Structure 1
Amino acid sequence: MVRMETKQKEIAERIGVSARTIRREIKRGMVEGLLRSDLRKYNEYSPEKAQELYEEKQRKKQGNYRINQKGSALP
């Protein structure tokens, strides 16, 4: 849908998420520096790269905090 130039708001409505979620996903999945046959650089969305970055951030989040006796999170 990104390649088809569908509006982000329309994509969000079709799949039932906010437009902000779509913007974050596209930003996360952009791959820079690819060359076309005319040797010009361009950006392209890669769902594989977006998923890889998402999973990496999820792994980094896990287990970094513990709860103290008062119920507050500690680093």
Structure 2
Amino acid sequence: MNSLREFNTWDRGVDVVAVERVLKGSLPHTVLEPEELRYAARHSKASARSVAKLLGVSEKTVTSWREAEA
């Protein structure tokens, strides 16, 4: 995965560095806030299934978040 936001660490209140750590499976990472979870789901290029597993939510939830963005 490429950097979500090159050179930015925050995007509208979302800690992009924390989101990237979770999506890469890097440890340690913090628990993401609800908006950060949605941000991660919407901006990740990975499958809904793999993103759901990383975020600790259902595949249906990831799909819903992605469709809401469209």
TM-score by length of 2: 0.37
Question: Which is higher, the Rg of structure 1 or of structure 2?
Answer: 1
The structure with the greater share of residues assigned to strand is 1
Larger RCO, structure (CA 8 Å, separation 6 or more):
2
